[in-house]
Amino acid sequence: AQKVTQAQTEISVVEKEDVTLDCVYETRDTTYYLFWYKQPPSGELVFLIRRNSFDEQNEISGRYSWNFQKSTSSFNFTITASQVVDSAVYFCALSEGWDSNYQLIWGAGTKLIIKP
């Protein structure tokens, strides 16, 4: 069965430190998509990145980077030089297959606290 695990419930770091949020997924499909969303205290889910199962290239966007490794079924997210505004709950999610079922399967989220 499909599953997304974010083992870190809460992480607290001091501003400017680097921090990595872990995501491990389970799926039997060979075609799938992985996502990261940010949920700040305001509550709205903000899309960060989408990665398909055929593209294992790492991606960097400013201070954000993502490491996708199919061999370990992981899709980890690193924030470099963290800032207080990065404080939020971060969710990893999985969407399987090419057919009509597009529902996202979500991890439980990691609460990230960046202290000034």
Partner 1 sequence: GAGVSQTPSNKVTEKGKYVELRCDPISGHTALYWYRQSLGQGPEFLIYFQGTGAADDSGLPNDRFFAVRPEGSVSTLKIQRTERGDSAVYLCASSSGGDGTRAGSTQYFGPGTRLLVL
Binder of partner 1 out of 30, 31, 58, 72 (CB under 8 A):
31
* The one segment of 18-26, 58-66, 68-76, 103-111 that binds partner 1 by CB under 8 A: 103-111
Q: Is 42 in the site for partner 1 (CB under 8 A)?
A: yes
Residue with token string 């439980």? 108
Q: Give 11: exposed, middle or buried? Use CB within 10 Å, 0-12, 13-18, 19+.
A: middle
Convert 19-55 to b/e letters by CB count within 10 Å (16 or more is b).
bebbbbbebeeeebbbbbbbeeeeeeeeebbebebee
Residue among 15 and 29 whose Cβ is closer to partner 1: 29
What x/- string results for residues 60 through 89 when contact with partner 1 is judged by CB under 8 A?
Answer: ------------------------------
Binder of partner 1 out of 57, 61, 71, 100 (CB under 8 A):
100
Q: Is 106 in the site for partner 1 (CB under 8 A)?
A: yes
Residue among 8 and 80 whose Cβ is closer to partner 1: 8
Q: What residues have CB less than 8 Å from 110, skipping those under 6 apart?
A: 6, 8, 9, 10, 11, 21, 22, 89, 90
Q: Is 37 in the site for partner 1 (CB under 8 A)?
A: yes
Report CA torsion sign: 48, 50, 55, 56: positive
Binding site for partner 1 (CB under 8 A): 4, 31-33, 35, 37, 42-47, 50, 52, 91, 93, 95, 97-109
